[in-house]
Amino acid sequence: MRSPASSPTVSTVSPAARLLGFSGLLPPLALLGLALVRPDDGWRMLAFAYAGLIFSFLGGMWWGFAVRRPAAAQAPLLVAAVVPSLVAFGLLGVGLMLLDLRWPLVLLGAAILLTLPVDRHLAATGDAPEGWMALRVPLSLGLGLLTIAMGVV
């Protein structure tokens, strides 16, 4: 376990990362607005694709944190890092088989909300940069809840 003070490679979350992170909530917000004004399954498809990509991207970030650890300590986080892509892929398969993305969107949104304990662990162990949770909490809540909302509109 490393503390942020003892690791020269751990930095803080930059203003640019915050700006770009929060701008990442604009596409699902726009899609929800469009779905409310002009209902169409296409908005759901785009919302699922976007949320699945971001969910997989988060897993990729966890992978990056994992490989910075000593080799003997990498495996648990490497396993956690591949879960988002597998979950998104599985839910996409379910949605395509059902020809309906409503429930897969709700489940994907819930899965995004469930990333917060992993992020909290990464912050506590010093694997994530300072300010990680201040970024991850609103982004995970925002994307998770917007994705769930797309499944119920």
Summarize pLDDT for 85-106 with one digit per residue, the tens: 999 999 999 999 999 999 999 9
DSSP 8-state code for residue 126: T
Q: What is the crossing angle of helices 102-113 and 75-98, to 10°?
A: 160
| Contact call for residues 96 and 49 (beta carbons, < 8 A) | no
The reported pTM is 0.91
pLDDT < 50 regions, the chain: 4-8
Q: Where are the domains of the chain?
A: 14-152
Query: CB 37: neighbour CB atoms within 10 A?
Result: 9
| Contact call for residues 150 and 28 (beta carbons, < 8 A) | yes
Spatial distance between the Cα atoms of 118 and 46, rounded to a whole number of angstroms: 26
**pLDDT of res. 5:** 46
**pLDDT of res. 8:** 45
**pLDDT of res. 11:** 78
